[in-house]
């Protein structure tokens, strides 16, 4: 059986394979234990993000624009984990390494879109803290539910368009050399390098993508917290300074969890073994969704108090109505 679909017309030069073969992680010893670990991480991620989303929906006190962004962060984490981990386990644990061409591109689109939204969610949270601390008197006027929803929808649209362009460009490529993807999922960079015709547009997108998704958000976040630090140092007493710092600790923790592993991977890319790089990137993809809600819950007093109230209400059999945040998000 020919792996590639025959061209119906002599003038057609694009040759799309029937499937790609995902071969990453095949050389890692005791890899099945790693897959069990990923399953446990995914389970915790679903429970933790689901809990955060439920608490925000049910508690009327959590109706601020900041928690609209937190809800979106949990949603993107949950959706991204669900798009990546079950398919990853199906491919490697159950041996279904052959992924049909169109399914592979769909897999790529949803994984890239959801995982990329994490950086823009952190931008939204940083901007919320920037307005709250530097412009406290204007915060209620500027940071409204409508503004936060518009900001988040704009980020989703930007990411979806950028990933759709990258995915669409793959359909113009002809694959006549190999169909083996040395990664843990349908990776854009690994796919376009398999093409036997010009993939320069894909290369350009692969250069633009990390700038838009990674470097620009990171620069904005760092500048935002630098501005916050300078403002607090100038005008705030020590007690108020420490109080404001505690409100930013959770956000900075999320930033560190998401960006530091990527910085290490990209900086040491040439010195990392291919299998080690794949394992590191896979951990980078699955760890933030499980650690974000855990750290945010532990460091945010409002969520801890809200969770305690909901547990007490459930024990006493009281009915809890959805909050205004849920109404806005519908």
Q: Is the pLDDT of residue 39 over 80?
A: yes
pLDDT band at 236 (very low <50, low <70, confident <90, very high): low
Mean pLDDT computed over 237-260: 76
Domain that holds residue 62: 19-329
Is the residue at 6 inside a domain?
Answer: no
Among the residue ranges 64-73, 227-236, 313-322, the one predicted with the least confidence is 313-322
Q: Is the pLDDT of residue 219 over 90?
A: yes
Q: Is the pLDDT of residue 153 over 90?
A: yes
Is the residue at 11 inside a domain?
Answer: no
**Could you tell me which residue, 251 or 70, shows the higher pLDDT?**
70
Q: Looking at residue 13, what is its pLDDT?
A: 56
Residue 131's φ and ψ, nearest 5 degrees, are -70, -40
Q: Looking at residue 202, what is its pLDDT?
A: 92
In 3D space, the residue among 20, 35, 23, 42 whose CA is nearest the CA of residue 89 turns out to be 35
d(CA 211, CA 206): 9
Q: Looking at residue 8, what is its pLDDT?
A: 42
Q: Is the pLDDT of residue 239 over 80?
A: no
**Could you tell me which residue, 267 or 7, shows the higher pLDDT?**
267
d(CA 256, CA 251): 9
**Could you tell me which residue, 238 or 186, shows the higher pLDDT?**
186
**Could you tell me which residue, 157 or 248, shows the higher pLDDT?**
157
Is the residue at 9 inside a domain?
Answer: no
Q: Looking at residue 2, what is its pLDDT?
A: 47
- The domain that holds 101 is classified in CATH as 1.20.1070.10
**Could you tell me which residue, 254 or 166, shows the higher pLDDT?**
166
Q: Looking at residue 235, what is its pLDDT?
A: 67
Report the range out of 63-72, 153-162, 231-240, 313-322 with the highest average pLDDT.
153-162
pTM of the model: 0.84
d(CA 219, CA 221): 6
Is the residue at 158 inside a domain?
Answer: yes
Is the residue at 214 inside a domain?
Answer: yes
> Based on the number of CB atoms within 10 Å of its own CB, is 65 exposed (0-12), middle (13-18) or buried (19 or more)?
buried
Residues 174-202: tens digit of each pLDDT: 988 788 988 888 888 889 989 988 889 99
Q: Looking at residue 23, what is its pLDDT?
A: 83
Q: Looking at residue 273, what is its pLDDT?
A: 65
Mean pLDDT, the chain, rounded, equals 81
In 3D space, the residue among 327, 320, 292 whose CA is nearest the CA of residue 306 turns out to be 320
Is the residue at 1 inside a domain?
Answer: no
d(CA 36, CA 43): 11
Q: Looking at residue 228, what is its pLDDT?
A: 86
Q: Looking at residue 25, what is its pLDDT?
A: 72
Is the residue at 252 inside a domain?
Answer: yes
Q: Looking at residue 75, what is its pLDDT?
A: 93
Q: Looking at residue 171, what is its pLDDT?
A: 92
Is the residue at 89 inside a domain?
Answer: yes
Residues 100-137: tens digit of each pLDDT: 999 999 999 998 998 889 899 999 999 998 898 888 88
Q: Looking at residue 11, what is its pLDDT?
A: 44
Q: Looking at residue 317, what is its pLDDT?
A: 59
Number of separate domains in the chain: 1
Q: Where are the beta strands (DSSP E) in the chain?
A: 19-22, 98-100, 180-181
Give percent above pLDDT 70 in the chain. Answer: 82
Residues 52-71: tens digit of each pLDDT: 898 888 887 887 888 899 99
């Amino acid at each position: 059986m020919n792996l590639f679909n025959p061209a119906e017309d002599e003038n057609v030069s694009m040759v799309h394979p029937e499937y790609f073969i995902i071969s990453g992680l095949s050389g890692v010893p005791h890899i099945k234990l790693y897959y069990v670990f990923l399953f446990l991480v995914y389970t915790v991620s679903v429970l933790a993000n689901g809990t955060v989303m439920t608490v925000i929906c049910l508690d009327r006190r959590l109706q601020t624009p900041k928690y609209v962004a937190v809800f979106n962060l949990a949603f993107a984490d949950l959706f991204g984990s669900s798009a990546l981990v079950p398919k990853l386990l199906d491919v490697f644990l159950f041996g279904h390494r052959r992924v049909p061409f169109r399914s592979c591109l769909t897999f790529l689109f949803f994984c890239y879109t959801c995982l990329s939204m994490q950086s823009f969610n952190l931008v939204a949270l940083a901007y919320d803290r920037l307005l709250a601390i530097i412009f406290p008197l204007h915060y209620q006027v500027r940071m409204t539910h409508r503004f936060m929803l518009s900001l988040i929808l704009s980020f989703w649209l930007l990411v979806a368009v950028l990933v759709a362009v990258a995915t669409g460009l793959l359909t113009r490529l002809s694959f006549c050399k190999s169909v083996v993807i040395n990664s843990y999922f349908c990776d854009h960079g690994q796919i376009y390098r398999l093409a036997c015709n010009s993939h320069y547009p894909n290369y350009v997108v692969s250069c633009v993508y990390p700038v838009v998704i990674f470097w620009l958000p990171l620069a904005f976040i760092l500048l935002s917290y630098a501005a916050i630090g300078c403002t607090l140092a100038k005008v705030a007493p020590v007690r108020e300074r420490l109080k404001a710092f505690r409100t930013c600790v959770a956000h900075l923790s999320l930033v560190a969890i998401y960006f530091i592993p990527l910085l290490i991977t990209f900086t040491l890319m040439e010195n990392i073994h291919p299998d080690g790089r794949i394992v590191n990137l896979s951990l980078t993809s699955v760890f933030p969704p499980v650690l974000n809600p855990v750290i945010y819950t532990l460091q945010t007093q409002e969520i801890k108090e809200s969770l305690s109230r909901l547990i007490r209400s459930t024990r006493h059999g009281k009915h809890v109505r959805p909050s205004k945040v849920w109404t806005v998000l519908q």
